[in-house]
Structure 1
Amino acid sequence: MAARAGWHESKTSRIEHGKKRPTESDLTAWAHACGTPELLPELIAELRAVDSAWLDWRRAEKTGLTHLNVAVRELYERTRIYRSYCQDVIPGLLQTAAYTTSTLSAIRDNREVPVDDVTDAVAERMARQHILYEGDHRFVFILEVAALTYRRGGPEVMIGQLGFLLKAMALPSVSLAVIPSHIERAGRWPVENFYIFDDVQANVELVSGFLTITQPREIAMYMQTFARFHEIAVFGRQARGIIEAAIDSLQQ
């Protein structure tokens, strides 16, 4: 292996035993030395994921909430097909300013974010929504029905938020579905909220941090999960009826 790759024998041993982290050029040499160049894209994706995969909230939010939203702006801008699954919250691209303010204020307080920049973070979130109306983007949103009923900011905020969902459903770029509470799940149980950008990246929000997935095999798993949810979700008139029922319950 060392002779084929053109390096010292000890380097091979250190890489094999996890004592040395390979570079992308090391992986290239390794794959070609083994006669398996077709594995190189997957190996490089895994290597890159080591640095970018996990970001804990405490470290991410030490300078506030705005910079996190600014950091993903370019990702949203370049994505052509965006898929979103949420089981307990309305996704950011479909949030009203009031709903976002309530959500980010709670995050600031619960996670003890040292910098109070909620107003700026909300403005960045709202500015991002221009991609719903411009360009050749396509959006597919799947919501658990619970996301429509968990209150964030009181009845008026929720009524306004659900009303905005009804308006968004009419946009040509948007496909919005709801998974009814009575549906037979058959292995399609609720999972963590996740967002897929084309077929190159998936983001997952967890209690302790933020997960960025770039490994093709793992992205495929989230794509398959999304497809299974798509099979049991309702669209169009049925989805609209569920949202309208949620609004009615808030007005009683």
Structure 2
Amino acid sequence: MPISPSSSAQAAREAVAVRLRELRAEAGITGAELAARCGWSHPKTYRIEGARTPPSADDIRRWCEACGAAGQAGDIIAQSRTAESMYIEWQRKVRTGLKQLQHSYVPLFRATKLFRIYSPTMVPGLLQTEGYARGLMTSITRFRDIPDDVAEAVAARLERSRIIHEPGRRFAMVIEEPVLYYRLGDQDDMAAQLGYLLTAGALPQVSLGVIPSATTERSLWPQELFHIYDDTLVSVELLAARVQVTQPSDIALYVRSFEQLRGMAVYGANARALIVRAIEALH
């Protein structure tokens, strides 16, 4: 089962803190002595060593120089930047609107051969229709009070989603049954979206599973929305941020989770029956 979705980012920060603490210990100086050499307060040293305050590039350079290890600064700065990039704040990412966010995924999509997606809250982006995507992005724009580029963002998402029809890729997607009933857009938008799920789910390169709400004795409770790109990256979507999981042990945990969730889903005729039932409920 997945650990806290921000844990990989925190673990990466802690690895930087441990490395800096080890440098100080190897230099044989106290935290107070290091603070004096670096020109900052004593508590700052312990906040950095405790992974409570992420060090800036300048902080790391001063720290390494104070410990007589200036040559290690470059590597530690790179390690720290990687750690901080793992937790990407949505508000910063979307402050100019949603179109650019859609484009930012294209290189990752192009490099991926196997997409594994679990969504307990919405239809996966790769399967979203125009009206559904518009309803979702309109809600996001209003909630976050960001520039309204919904029309352009929807067009970019639909263009990006064409990759599902390109050869050489596989898409395994699992959704919870309530996703079929959460209305994003009006009744016609939802009817079109559910109808498209019937079509897309029949594509040979797509495996679309639905976990019935009536599933008894679930082997795994509903998780946060996550995407697994091959076996190299997991992207977890939270309200405040997107967490990028890159540590192999954590990726393996998400893969294991996905397989358990996938095993609880129904496919083919049984999945279509659930979708048809949701369509009927619209009227």
TM (normalized to structure 1)? 0.82
Q: Quick one: which of 114, 117, 142 aligns to 1:84? A: 117
Q: Quick one: which of 189, 212, 218 aligns to 1:180? A: 212
Distance 2:202 2:177 in 1: 19
Q: Which residue of 1 aligns with 2:27?
A: 10
Q: What secondary structure does 1:184 align onto?
A: coil
Which has the larger displacement, 209-218 or 174-183?
A: 209-218
- 1:218 is the counterpart of 2:218: no
Distance 2:248 2:137 in 1: 31
Q: Quick one: which of 120, 137, 140 aligns to 2:169? A: 137
**How big is the shift at 1:51?**
2.5
The question of whether the paired residues in 2 share the 8 Å contact of 1:49 and 1:214 is answered with no
Distance 1:169 1:155 in 2: 21
In structure 2, give the amino acid aligned to 1:81: L
Q: What secondary structure does 1:59 align onto?
A: helix
Q: Report the identity percentage.
A: 36
Q: Which residue of 2 aligns with 1:196?
A: 228
- 1:150 is the counterpart of 2:179: no
Which has the larger displacement, 54-63 or 147-156?
A: 54-63
Q: Name the CA shift for 1:141/1:62 in 2 (closer, same or farther; >3 Å).
A: same
TM (normalized to structure 2)? 0.73
Deviations 1:96-147 (A, max 9, x none): 011000100000001111x111111111100012211112010001000011
Q: 5 Å matches for 1:15-26?
A: 18=49, 26=72
In structure 1, give the amino acid aligned to 2:121: D
Q: What secondary structure does 2:282 align onto?
A: helix
Q: Which residue of 1 aligns with 2:39?
A: none
Deviations 1:62-108 (A, max 9, x none): 11111111111110111100000001100100000110001000000
Larger Rg: 2
Q: Name the CA shift for 1:139/1:11 in 2 (closer, same or farther; >3 Å).
A: farther
Q: Which residue of 1 aligns with 2:142?
A: 109
Distance 1:249 1:186 in 2: 25
Q: Name the CA shift for 1:163/1:108 in 2 (closer, same or farther; >3 Å).
A: same
CA root-mean-square deviation: 2.8
Deviations 1:176-210 (A, max 9, x none): 00000111243411111111100111111111111
In structure 2, give the amino acid aligned to 1:129: S
The question of whether the paired residues in 2 share the 8 Å contact of 1:73 and 1:128 is answered with yes
Distance 1:172 1:125 in 2: 22
- 1:93 is the counterpart of 2:126: yes
Q: Name the CA shift for 1:146/1:63 in 2 (closer, same or farther; >3 Å).
A: same
Distance 1:217 1:90 in 2: 28
Distance 1:11 1:60 in 2: 42
The question of whether the paired residues in 2 share the 8 Å contact of 1:58 and 1:111 is answered with yes
Q: Which residues of structure 1 form unaligned runs of 5+?
A: 1-7, 31-43
Count the aligned residue pairs: 228
**How big is the shift at 1:157?**
0.7
**How big is the shift at 1:21?**
5.3
The question of whether the paired residues in 1 share the 8 Å contact of 2:218 and 2:264 is answered with no
Q: What secondary structure does 1:195 align onto?
A: strand
